[in-house]
Amino acid sequence: MRTRLIPLAIALIGAGLCGRAPAAQPAHPSVGSKYFAESVLLADLLQLQAQRQGLLLTQQRALGGSSILWQALLTGAIDVYPEYTGTLREELLHDVPGSLDTQRLREVLAARDLGMSDSLGFQDRYALAVTHTLATRLHLATLSDLRAHTGLRYALSNEFMQRADGWPGLRALYGLQPGSVRGMDHTLAYHAIEHAAADVVDVYTTDPQILSDDLVVLRDDRNYFPDYQAVWLYRLDAVRRWPALLASMNALVGRIPVQAMRAMNAAVQIRRLDDRQVAARFLATLQPQGAAAVGAAPGATVGAAPSNHPARGSPDLTASAGFAQRLLGWTGEHLALVGISLSMAIVLGLPLGVAAAKLPALGRAVLGFCVVLQTVPTLAMLVFMIPLFGIGARPAIAALFLYSLLPIVRNTLTGLTSIPAPLAESAASLGLPKAVQLLRIELPLAARPIIAGISTAAVINVGTATLGALIGAGGYGEPILTGIRLDDLSLILQGAIPAALLALAVMALFQLLERAFTPRGLRPTTQD
């Protein structure tokens, strides 16, 4: 049902894996997992249970999102992976006509030579949550209760903002009128509500943060969200070849309650324990089942009841605006992030560079500080900014401003210290005041490297600003991150191509500025 924030490289590697058919029959079956702790834990459980059955089961860990794992299963790159019935109905088989009750679901899968187990014993479905304090103050217990409060700040995962079973339909069904809605990384949404930067977040019902952050999950009183029973999806040819694989899956069916899954997630995500050790400890608590349970036939319907969720035809509010309008909005947000942060960096970076050039001891300290800022990972920097500035554009601008300082300060220092000594001495011999020497002679002579540093900072900002979408800053990162999670190349390109074009445009603009501000005698000729 969910994926976390994943690097594009991992998505592409997974896609490449899914696009290749195995050259020969593998010696052992393989289980895949998505890029989040719960999926990896479930794959660990199956792998360890297979060992009990005398079967060597290899694991392809953290391949990516649902679409990547689905394609890997279809092509035989993996033989089984944990999935959720809601994701299967709403995302992977959304184009199949008619109602997909459990029996129909199995028939559609069988036509693809796939099978589905019964429920593992828990659901992992979407929900909205608020802090216990806010729930008490506003008397919030159900999603319908939110309708009376129009000024709340919503921090929702990017995928939830786009899904057919996500925010657009939920907002329409319940008539919600939030004060603001920000799309961001799922994990960072918890950080935002912890620091009072958001009031409402989307959660998964097995998230360990629900307990650790003392959140209240609001009841879905109009049954918007479909069933998200955790199940095994597997290849029928694999269980025919390895009967112990089916026995291993059935040994876990109905035996993982939601409290146990939430506890295992907490052990991995909050206590930072090794996932395989956590899975092994849970498996040790399970008593071996009888032969009847182990030998259950594929296609049984216990534990995966059909959803009673009503049919919905709510429009996708995010996509309904049209691509041109959305592109214009993303461009405006991205330009604001880059322009404001770069302007702030110029205002501070130029004086720092000048001071560093005039005072070498200070210069070394300033450069060292800027280098340290540059080494902080972008995601960590964004997390640091949330307690100070909340979520949205302000923390992203602050992070981009800090990242812009190094090239501006360094190039200003380099430009001023590289002025030929005779020219500097001539300026001093004229008896001009220090400020006049700096403004009328030294800075124009250093214009080329200074503008080159600003240009470098601007281009870096264009690319780095895409990560601002993790904390609700918008911009081109919004379609890129959503596309990565949904394995939608067209969405990724909707943000990546404009970002690349903007970077080229920024570079061309600063080349023109460099020529305009460089004294005529120092401009490069065509032979240069």
Work out whether strand 126-131 and strand 200-204 pair parallel, antiparallel, or are unpaired.
antiparallel
How do residues 484-507 score in pLDDT, each as one tens digit? 655 578 888 999 999 999 999 999
- Type and span of the H or E element at 60: strand 58-60
- Every domain of the chain with CATH number 3.40.190.10 lies at 8-123+228-294
Pair 53, 248: CB distance under 8 Å: yes
How do residues 27-40 score in pLDDT, each as one tens digit? 899 999 887 889 99
Q: Which residue reads 């009128």 in tokens?
A: 177
- Every domain of the chain with CATH number 1.10.3720.10 lies at 323-518
Pair 250, 296: CB distance under 8 Å: yes
> Minimal CA–CA distance to 207: which of 162, 157, 258?
258
How do residues 303-340 score in pLDDT, each as one tens digit? 332 233 333 333 333 444 578 888 999 999 999 999 99
Third-level CATH fold of 126-217: D-Maltodextrin-Binding Protein; domain 2 (3.40.190)
- Every domain of the chain with CATH number 3.40.190.120 lies at 126-217
- 3-state DSSP of 464-499: HHHHHHHECCCCCHHHHHHHHHHCCHHHHHHHHHHH
Residues constituting the chain: 528
**Model's pTM, two decimal places?**
0.60
How do residues 126-176 score in pLDDT, each as one tens digit? 899 999 999 999 999 999 999 999 999 999 988 788 777 789 999 999 999
The CATH classification of domain 323-518, taken from the options 1.10.3720.10, 1.10.1740.10, 3.40.50.620, 3.30.2130.10: 1.10.3720.10
Q: Which residue reads 């079973």 in tokens?
A: 165
Distance separating alpha carbons of residues 478 and 487, to the nearest angstrom: 14
Third-level CATH fold of 8-123+228-294: D-Maltodextrin-Binding Protein; domain 2 (3.40.190)
> Minimal CA–CA distance to 507: which of 444, 468, 457?
457
**Residue 310: its pLDDT value, please?**
31
The conformational region for residue 103 under phi > 0 = left, psi -120 to 50 = alpha, else beta, is: alpha
